[in-house]
Structure 1
């Protein structure tokens, strides 16, 4: 069975993207930690769009999670035609105050799992001379982020890694896209404990809006996808600002009200 694999599929942008793929007739492999949410989504998608879904429970913050996911893929003889590395989360606060175990988990999910899953599917895609990968970064990828230092750094990694990989894969039939949304209504803010950050005063896009833009651009083969005019403008302007001014500005924007 050919399928699209989506990590972090139980909510937010991942869930909305699942609906887009299902609507277009793609079978799905849904990966996340929440059994009930995934099973409910799978049932809904199968009933509404007459596609097949496979649910794989995995905590991508654990070092053995990707191995488990790929074992399940091989066991079920699934061919991954598209990979959406959407799973990720953030942590808010001064670096020295954040629990190290939480930061390790965040780096594992945001960077290591994303890279390992990509590493595991790319060789087969190259052999097939077809495949598409969507790695979810953030507008945070374009600058340092005081009060979310490690999170911003993880997203900078995703952007840099994905742009380099996209260049390497030219001519192979495999494409790489990077989604860089700004603040989005996904539950991200609650998990990061930053609901009272000034950052959210600039406006928050809905997960539906982001997924609509992302899906069309991804299927069209666009490499860098930044939803929202304001997000595009800010990402562009940062290139011309002195680095110290960037970090000072981001700090002010990120502070609590």
Structure 2
């Protein structure tokens, strides 16, 4: 189905599943044309077809591995070639690692930084000038509750999410009054394939999972209200705001007592894991 929609356009990274697919769905339902970015062309095409049929929007597919150094340049070139501008950038793509730092594959953690931090910054650089020229636009960056404190055994992952939160807060201050909204989403554990990729459901330290739909709904509502950041779920929000921030060494020590459980062997079960 070919759409003639001329609504605002949202670019969503990590759009093939999980939060990314839910962002694409809710934005399309609200009248946004969407640009879907992820590694899997087949999954993106399937989602794009579904959104075009269900909501009559334009859905563009841009397969791209965001761990590649020139990922944002390639996406920017594709946008130019197709004559597309971005009104809302959803930097959703990301993944995690956990365990003892010396035992984690350095190449995996390098790619983690490239996806969670470098691609996020590069894509923001790529689309923000156009937003400023048009006098409006928005950036929604997906962080994590892991970004509120140091995370022993999640050292690189939590550090990338600290970056996402502080980067978002800083940009928001820079662009207030210039037509650009910036919001950070910092969710707790969400039922996605994140935990399959990280290798253990023990990485959900709270043990309490949400689903993608209410998390995305809360994020888009926060963006509409021009909130600086949002942590969906009462227990997640309380944990984020009631945890001490200093002294930093004490905070890290307390965190280590909580996070060390990811080092424990997984209990075998006859029940399949939920993803």
Q: Give the equivalent residue in structure 2 for 1:224.
A: 229
Number of aligned residue pairs: 256
- Residues 106-185 of structure 1 mapped to structure 2, 5 A cutoff: 106-185=112-191
The 8 Å contact of residues 189 and 204 in structure 2, kept in 1 or not, is answered as: no
Question: In 1, Cα distance between the equivalents of 2:162 and 2:203?
Answer: 21
Aligned position for 1:82: 88
Give, in angstroms, the shift of residue 208 of structure 1: 1.5
Provide the residue aligned with 1:20 in structure 2: 26
| Range with greater deviation from structure 2 (5-14 or 236-245) | 236-245
Show CA shifts across 1:145-203 (max 9, x none).
001100000010111111111101111101100000011111111111122347152x1
- 2:269 paired residue number: none
SS of residue in 1 equivalent to 2:244 = helix
Q: Which residue of 2 aligns with 1:235?
A: 240
Aligned pair partner of 1:54 in 51, 60, 80: 60
Measured after TM superposition, the shift of residue 127 of structure 1 is: 1.2
CA, structure 1 residues 245+59, in 2 after alignment: closer, same or farther (shift >3 Å)?
Answer: same
Q: Does 1:30 align with 2:24?
A: no
Q: Runs ≥4 in structure 1, deviation > 3 angstroms?
A: 239-242
**Corresponding residue number in structure 1 for 2:103:** 97
Q: Deviations over 1:9-45 (max 9, x none)?
A: 0111111111111011110000000111111100100
Do structure 1's residue 4 and structure 2's residue 10 form an aligned pair?
yes
TM-score, normalised by the number of residues in structure 1 = 0.95
Alpha-carbon shift at residue 120 of structure 1 (Å): 1.0
Distance 1:197 1:108, change over 3 A: closer
1:98-136 per-residue CA deviation (whole Å, 9 max, x = no partner) reads 111111100000000000000111111111110000011
Look up the match of 2:72. 66
Return the alpha-carbon distance in structure 2 between the equivalents of residues 160 and 142 of structure 1. Answer: 10
Q: Distance in 1 between matches of 2:251 and 2:195?
A: 22
Distance 1:86-1:198 versus aligned 2 partners, 3 A rule: closer
Q: Name stretches of at least 5 consecutive residues in structure 1 with no aligned partner.
A: none
State how 1:205-220 maps to structure 2 within 5 Å.
205-220=210-225
Q: Compared with structure 1, are the counterparts of its residues 80 and 198 closer, same or farther at alpha carbon in structure 2 (3 Å cutoff)?
A: closer
Look up the match of 1:247.
252
